[in-house]
Amino acid sequence: MIFKWRTRNWGFAKNRIRCTLAKKLFTFLSILLCLGVAFAAQDGKRNGRVDPPRQQIKSKWVKAQNFGKAPVKAKAKAKAKSPALAPTRPSFGDIAGLRSSPDALALKSSVAFVIDQDTKEVLLHKNELAVLPIASITKLMTGILISEARLPMDELIAISQHDVDMEKGSRSRLTVGTMLSRGELLHLALMSSENRAAHALGRTYPGGMGNFVSLMNAKAAELGMAATSFVEPTGLSSKNQSSAKDLATLVSYAYADPTLREYSTSPGHQVEVGRRTLQFNNTNRLVKNPDWDIGLQKTGYISEAGQCLVMQAKVAGRKIIMVFLDSAGKLSRIGDAERVRRWVESAPMVNSRVSPVAALDVPGKLVRQ
């Protein structure tokens, strides 16, 4: 009996020893795990971040997978992540040094020309004879020809592969095969500066694209726009060029057409494309501004031309034509228009021979009366 009792006690003792050893081993392993996490966290802090344990394991796995591969340079990664840091292409005006030209209103545009539409009085001029790319201001001439041709505006026109921009690679929501009326294409070209719409209008003009471009240049000559030339109807080509003085003539002429006035100043327009309804908006935010009474407008941009804007607007009771070319920033052309409006409003016309220009005398830049 005594032997059996001792044997049973020895079994219990062995089990207790095993449990104790297991607990100590578990405690030891836990301490090791905590130390490992602590060291990993410290290592992460040295590298500027603290990764969770799972992320550290994943990072080590990725490192193991990439072992032996050539490392990617940090500079190359930075360039890939931030393409906006790449130097922008200089405009023609910037290359010519026009952006350094001073003016009394501190305009951001290299070229500016402001006149009274009724009296033809020049209120402000800055490099107005410089011949520069005009980007989508071109579409005003496109609109003039389409409107004056009296072509059926309800005729359906299909967007084709020929209308896709292969020069600048600009995008469009008018996919190849889209069917829209000529009137809708004209509306989108003038309001939203839709390039495929403008190209389709020229392509389907009687006589084809070549005849259309010839008529664009013939119309410019007829209007006395001697410094103006066109090679296509969208403005994507930097070879479409003009001067601010010529463009003021173009704006004044286009203003006489009610269709061009309506389409260019429309805040937005919806078109049905298949089963979808697409919303297009005006590229000029000023048309929605209650402080402005705009009769006709057009914006434009390509890198060679910079930001461009032409407008006819009523300011302080006067019909004013404004032309801004090669503005340095996306909102600078809008800012310049606001500066000119405030300036004209600050010194309203007393009679036909008095102008606010006399109050801002910068030789060679503003006109004295």
Active-site residue among 193, 238, 242, 264? 193
Query: CB-hemisphere CA count at 13 Å for 231?
Result: 10
Active-site residue among 126, 139, 219, 298? 139
Structure tokens at 88: 């922008």
Structure tokens at 169: 């690679």
Q: How far apart are CA 239 and CA 134, in angstroms?
A: 9
Our answer to whether residue 91 is catalytic in this structure is no
Amino acid type, 144: I
The residues, any chain, with a CB within 8 Å of residue 224's CB and separated by 6 or more, are 249
**SS3 call for 24:** helix
DSSP state of 229: B
Beta strands in 2-98 (DSSP E): none
Q: How far apart are CA 291 and CA 289, in angstroms?
A: 5
Alpha helix segments (H runs only) across 207-350: 208-222, 244-254, 258-265, 332-346
Active-site residue among 136, 172, 192, 238? 136
Degrees to nearest 5, angle at CA 193 with 190 and 194: 110
User: Could you report how far apart the first and last alpha carbons of the chain are, in Å?
Assistant: 134
What is the CB neighbour count within 10 angstroms for residue 26?
A: 10
Q: How far apart are CA 308 and CA 113, in angstroms?
A: 12
| Contact call for residues 99 and 326 (beta carbons, < 8 A) | yes
Our answer to whether residue 108 is catalytic in this structure is no
Our answer to whether residue 193 is catalytic in this structure is yes
Give the H/E segment covering residue 116: strand 109-116
Instruction: List the catalytic residues.
Output: 136, 139, 193
